[in-house]
Structure 1
Amino acid sequence: MKSAVETLSPTRAKLTVEVPFEELKPSLDAAYKAIAQQINVPGFRRGKVPPGVIDRQVGRGAVLDQAINDALPKKYVEALQENSLEPLAQPEIEVTKLEDNELIEFTAEVDVKPQIDLPAYEGLEAQVEDIEISDEDVDEQVAALRERFGTLADVERAAAEGDFVVLDLKAMKDGEVLEGAEVTGMSYQVGKGGMIDGLDEALVGMSAGDEKTFTSSLVGGDLVGEEVEVAVSVSQVQEQELPELDDEFAQLASEFDTSDELVADVRKRLGNGKRLEQAAEARDAVLEALLEKVTVPLPESMVTDELNARRQNIEQQLVMAGISMEKYLEDEEQTQEEFESELDRRVRDAVAAQFLLDEIAKKEELGVDQQELSQHLIRRAQQSGQDPQEFANHMFEHNHIPDLVQEILRGKALAVLVESATVKDASGEVLELKNLQPDGTIMETPAEDSTEEPADEAPSEDAAEDSTEDSTEDAADKA
């Protein structure tokens, strides 16, 4: 077999491959054998029909087609290896010459990983913001903890923001209740949001026994974007009564004896969380510093696929959060064009970062052992809410293990970058960044359990832009 490569662009190559007929013989023999099992020819037992008879009965062309379809993928892979090409997508293959009993020639155009001249990546410098823990931050967490131990009491007045109501609700289109759009006896906090547009505004001022109908736009389902009539009735209005922040509450909600100790622990935990956020910011800043040192050619097909995947992921998360794209853009103070431009930049940085980290992993001769792969499989399964064994089985069955290995290698390459970098906060203090896990995520220092965890905050709408994927992309998203 002979092969030659033509570089069409930094990220696309064209292979021309000549295969002598003698190398096609195993595939030809297999084709004749398979066809012999499928046809009935008088005078011959099934499976024992000679090639010459098959040529007359079925046609030599059909045999050649089957043999070529069998052989070309293998010869394509051999040609990639001969020319040290790493494909990024499925090739466009065309048979350009077929001389029976002589040779077959085919071409294959494919996107390939670009050749990158790695810049110096040790000792990169970056800066992050200082850690700030305000009294307001502490008060907010303490208030959330108090709310967990709060009680609800019925009140004989109209509902106001922050009150709880027990409501019945149904959404209707053309007078018919929509499937899955009816709830009964639901407790809901006025002003919390995230359920249906216009609900909070409708509830303010309603008393027990009141009913109201308003118009809203659906943000999910088959009728997304369509106007519907929403009927809501309130059976109870309840006011939340919070416990006093005193020593008795501290003993109820934590292992501490005094409220001062409880508040100090909340401040300490906030500090731990802020340090993790700062470490993640440092990781992103170091990767950004590397991206600024080199221009990486990007295959547009790969960028387009990733853009579409991320856009779809964002839309799905917004639907799950009950937020329309228009509301999201309004809250982010972005136009659709600005959103698309920012998403395009983030995707291009993420793809470029992957190529750079792959090259660093090669240069550093990084590897992945079985324990690291197992831990990564478990982590990915937890992220997707799946059983680890079922997730692992799926990955093996669909040949996704190489992708997971590459994710780990990129995380290790990112750790090499960060641990050799000098990152300072705004005050000039050098950060200690030796706590990266093999997948590139930040490892939290274990802390003794003390205060019960504060109530979870509602996820910010910024979270809609995060992909569920690997830490490399998370870092590059901010690069």
Structure 2
Amino acid sequence: MKSSVEKLSATRTKLTVEVPFEELKPEFDQAYKALAQQVNMPGFRKGKVPAKILEARLGRGVVLDQVLNEMIPSRYSQAVEEHDLKVLGQPDIDIAELKDGEQVTFTAEVDVRPEIEVPDFSTISVEVAPLKADDDAIAAELENLQARFGTLKNVDRKVKKGDFVSIDLSATIDGESVEEATTEGLSHEVGTDSLVEGLDDALVGMKADEENTFTSKLVAGEHADEEAEVTVKVSSVKERELPELDDDFAQLASEFDTLDELRDSLKTQVEEQMKNTQAGEIRDKVLAAALEQTEVALPEAVVNDQVEGQIQQIIGQFGGDEKTFEAMLAAQDITREKFEEDSREAAEDSVRTQLFLDALADKEQPEVSQDELMDHINFTAAQYGMDPNQFIMQLQQAGQLASLFADVRRGKSLAINIAKTSVKDTDGNDVDPKQFFGIDEAAAEGAESEESADKAEDKKDDKSESKKYEGKKADKDAKPSAKKAPAKKAAKKTPAKKAAKKTEEKEEKKTTKKSTKKDSE
């Protein structure tokens, strides 16, 4: 087999593959075997019809078609591997020449990952919000905890914000009752604005057994976004009675004996949350800055597939009804053209980011341990509310385990490079990104010392020893060294892990469903 590559554009390649017929004996044998199972001929057992008789009965063209169907996928994959192409999506195959008994030539046009020059992350500087675990933030956490242990009691007074009411709702349009907007005994917290617009304003000041009518737009059903006269009747009014903040409450709401201990714990919790938030902000801003410095050619077909996948997924939520989908857009004053334009912009951002992170991962070549892969699987399963074992089974069935492995690899590569950047908060204080995205310094220094010793030893050797060094260096390039990948200890740092996984999740949520759908098809 001979193959050649023609670069059509930065993201499109054409493979030309020539296969002589003498290499096709296994495919012909397989074709005759498959066709023999499909033909019933007097005097022959099923599957035992000789090749010549099969060709006479079915025609040479049928046999050749079967051979080509068997041959092309394997030879295409072989050519892709031979030329080390990083293909994206499915190829467009065309039979360029078929000389029976001599040679078959086919071409395959396919999108490929473009060459991307990764910037020097040590030149990137970003600014983020400062960490401020102040008394107000701690008090807010304590109030939330206090509210969880509160009790509701009936009150005989006018409704105010924060009260819990039981209400009946009904609506009319042009005097006609709207059945789907009628409900009884609905529980609602006043002030949350979680139901009909204008309801909370109408409720404030009412008392039990009183009615009030106001005008609002309905949010669902056949009359969604139409103006309606809404009537609300209050059945009961309750207020939340909060437990007193003392040592007894601390013992009730936590494992601590005193309120001071509980406050200290909440302070630690708030600080951890703020660190995770700051780590996420660092990650997002560094990635955005790196992308600004990087030119990434976008494969048009890949972007188109992603746009179409996003649109079909949303239309599927409306039962596949295009008219209902367009009515939803019209209700939000969005044209179909504007929606598709926004979808394309989002798809381009997603494809650009993933191509960049793939190039970064190829540059860093980080090692991904089994523990790290399982951590990511457990994290992702939790995001979907699934049991990890069931999630793994679904991944295996859809052939997506490799996709999650790639996600971890991208996340680790980005973390390694974020640790090289300069970060300040808006107060002018230096922020060390290594506390979130650090590497194991001792392991890295050890690897550097070992490499330096190897180089020093090689300089003393003769030319034959230099060749040995070249072979050793090539092996090091194939198998990532310790200084290129974060050690397990660093990977277990909570903010780094969560921030890296957030990066993976952002891309995964945009691509996993799409790629799963493709694999299933």
Task: Normalising by structure 2, report the TM-score.
Answer: 0.71
Aligned pairs, how many?
Answer: 443
Deviations 1:183-212 (A, max 9, x none): 664432122233455554554455434567
Q: Report deviation, 1:241.
A: 2.7
1:102 aligns with 2:102: yes
Name the aligned partner's letter for residue 403 of structure 1.
Answer: S
Alignment of 1:323-472 (within 5 A): 347-426=347-426, 427-436=428-437, 443-444=493-494, 470-471=504-505
Separation in structure 2 between the aligned mates of residue 277 and residue 296 of structure 1, nearest angstrom: 28
* 8 Å Cα contact 2:2-2:18 kept in structure 1: yes
CA shift digits 1:446-477 (9 cap, x unpaired): 9xxxxxxxxxxxxxxxxxxxx9882564999x
Query: Corresponding residue for 2:15?
Result: 15
Change (3 A) 1:336 1:238: farther
Distance 1:109 1:225 in 2: 48
Q: What is the CA RMSD across the aligned residues, in angstroms?
A: 4.3
Instruction: Give the conservation status (yes or no) of the 8 Å contact 1:414–1:472.
Output: no
CA contact (8 A) 1:16 1:106 kept: yes
Corresponding residue number in structure 1 for 2:40:
40
Q: Tell me the residue number matched to 2:27.
A: 27
| More moved, 278-287 vs 186-195 | 186-195
Instruction: Quickly say closer, same or farther: Cα 1:293–1:201, change in 2 above 3 A.
Output: same
Q: Which of the two has greater helix per residue?
A: 2
Q: Is the 8 A contact 2:3 2:15 kept in 1?
A: yes
Greater shift in the superposed pair: 116-125 or 408-417: 116-125
Out of 228-237 and 19-28, give the one that drifted further. Answer: 228-237
Number of the residue aligned with 1:70 = 70
1:217 corresponds to 2:222: no
Determine if contact 1:165/1:190 at 8 Å carries over to the other structure: yes
Aligned in 2, Cα 1:349/1:381: closer, same or farther, shift over 3 Å? Answer: same
SS at match of 2:110: strand
2: CA distance, partners of 1:336 / 1:259: 56
Higher RCO, Cα 8 Å, sep 6+: 1
CA deviation after TM superposition for structure 1 residue 233, in Å: 4.7
Structure 1 match to 2:287: 287
What is the Cα deviation at residue 170 of structure 1? 7.6
Matching of residue 56 in structure 1 with residue 56 in structure 2 = yes
Establish whether residue 192 from structure 1 lines up as the match of residue 242 from structure 2: no
The alpha-carbon distance between structure 1 residues 310 and 258, as it changes in their structure 2 partners (threshold 3 A), is farther
Corresponding letter in the other structure for 2:504: D
Unaligned runs of 5+ in 2: 318-326, 439-485, 511-521
Distance of aligned partners of 1:168 and 1:268 in 2 relative to their CA distance in 1, 3 Å threshold:
same
Output the amino acid matched with 1:192: T
- Structure 1 range deviating more: 209-218 or 402-411: 209-218
CA distance in 1, matches of 2:384, 2:20: 49
Structure number with larger C-alpha Rg: 2
Shift of residue 407, structure 1, vs aligned partner:
0.6
Alignment of 1:64-213 (within 5 A): 64-122=64-122, 124-168=124-168, 177=179, 185-197=185-197, 199-201=199-201, 203-204=203-204, 206-210=206-210
Percent identity over paired residues:
42
> CA offset at residue 155 of structure 1?
2.3
Query: Structure 1 residues 470 and 184, CA, compared in 2 at 3 Å: closer, same or farther?
Result: farther
Tell me the SS of whatever aligns to 1:142.
helix
Question: Is the 8 Å Cα contact of residues 91 and 111 (structure 2) preserved in structure 1?
Answer: yes
Q: TM (normalized to structure 1)?
A: 0.77
Change (3 A) 1:45 1:251: closer
> Offset at 1:119?
3.0
